[in-house]
Amino acid sequence: MEIKQNISLKQHNTFGLDVYSGLYTEINHYNDINDILFNDVFRNSERLIIGGGSNILFTRNFTGIVVKMNIKGINIIEDNDRYVVIKANAGEEWDKFVEFAVKNNFSGLENLSYIPGNVGSAPIQNIGAFGSEVKDTIHSVEIIDINTGKQSVLSNKECMFGYRDSIFKRELKDKFIITSVYFTLSKIFKPNICYSALKNELAQSEIDNPEINLIRDAVIRVRKSKLPDPNELGNAGSFFKNPMVSREKYEILKKEYPDIKGFDNASSNEVKLAAAWLIETCGWKGYRIGDAGVHKKQSLVLVNYNNARGIDILNLAKEIQNSVYQKFNVEIEMEVNVI
Ligand code: FAD
Ligand code: EPU
């Protein structure tokens, strides 16, 4: 394990921000973990664990140590007629893991195809897309306490998953390293095509009884048509979460704004509003100030046209939050981790 000094993080964050880390190292093997945890330099520095850097906004150089989790490996540890349990290590690229599952007809992850980042980060914000959330496939999460080096395994329930939320964003934030995730994937395929953008894509392609690989392909087509490729335009996906409001508030807003878009779940007293619609209705879609901007096709995505600084993007985000609040009296929370 080598600790490097003064390393550019441009290749390690999908906003493409050219910030520097005072110290930087990569964990490639389990043995490296104890080496780093009990290293004096690590213990005395501000620390940041990263995966693919696709949900981070750096607003400054990081003076402490950045540790990239890179441990690879996918192993089937239980296999029967109905399901498999798979252990995937934190450093596996998320979409390579989904591709592996789909190729083997292990279902549950196909709607989560093509999300950037690594396996170890997936539980942190309970990644979701097209009507699926990763929590529905997570069996348990293996973690190591950064202070003691003690390993433990959290059950699905103990992870306290919610919409873009888990214990790792709250009580355990910055206290643990996720080393691997156990998934239970079904061998009995039941397509989940409730999400309208996916349903429409399958209908347009005249696919009536989609196989698992066709779902994956359709998800990738929709994603490519809407979301910017970070290799071409820096971004971190949705910058904000979709806000939850009471049904009462939703009805009031709907009277004033009949086109308002909400994901209405009849069994719940809350409605999830489409933040993209709120932001677009405030006039931000396609807005650009310097090199920071709001994506032309998806107003929930903030972009770096080239030379924006993290602080420029953060200032734009705050202006957007204020204007949405002024117009709709709704607070939109940032999804991205701001450093
Ligand atoms: P990073 O950005 O590296 O880290 C995210 C957070 O987790 C940081 O706080 C970091 O400190 C912490 N962390 C990372 N690894 C570990 C670890 N092993 N142990 C402890 N802490 C750790 N998200 C969705 O949910 N749905 C989407 O549809 C979606 N689409 C996206 C599309 C684009 C184009 C982009 C750029 C992003 C999108 N995202 C989406 C957001 C992002 O892909 C996910 O949040 C992803 O899980 C982040 O993974 P990462 O490895 O890049 O995490
Ligand atoms: N919409 C607008 N204006 C826009 C974009 C969208 O009005 O500029 C409307 C759409 O017409 C639609 C609604 O907003 O009615 C929802 O749009 P979309 O299906 O694109 O989904 P989203 O709510 O904007 C969420 C996730 C994405 C995920 C997609 C697909 C959050 C914060 N975002 O976006 O996740 O990929 O659904 O399931 O929940 C991420 O978290 O980084 C992310 C990209």
Over residues 177-223, the pLDDT tens digits come to: 999 999 999 999 999 999 999 999 999 998 888 999 999 999 999 99
Give the residue among 186, 237, 196, 236 at the shortest CA–CA distance from 218. 196
- Give me the pLDDT at residue 126, please: 98
Those residues with Cβ within 8 angstroms of residue 68's Cβ, 6 or more apart along the chain or in another chain = 12, 24, 25, 26, 27, 49, 50, 51, 91
Ligand with smallest separation from the Cα of 114:
1
Residue 290 confidence (pLDDT): 97
Using CB distances shorter than 6 Å, the residues near ligand 1 are 14, 48-56, 69, 90, 115-118, 120-122, 124-125, 127-129, 177-178, 227, 230, 235-237, 337
| Residue 166 near residue 126 (C-beta atoms within 8 A) | yes
Tokens of 60: 């400054």
Helical axes 212-226 vs 196-204, angle rounded to 10°: 110
Query: How many angstroms does the Cα of residue 172 sit away from the middle of ligand 2?
Result: 28
Tell me, what's the pLDDT at 41?
94
243: left (phi over 0), alpha (psi -120 to 50) or beta: beta
- pLDDT at residue 263, rounded to an integer: 85
**Ranges of the chain with pLDDT below 70:** none
Using left for φ > 0, alpha for ψ between -120 and 50, and beta otherwise, residue 114 falls in: left
Q: Give the Cα separation of 254 and 247 in Å (integer).
A: 10
Q: C-alpha distances in angstroms, 306 versus 16, 201, 228, 266, 339?
A: 8, 32, 14, 43, 19
Dist. CA 205–CA 315, nearest whole Å: 41
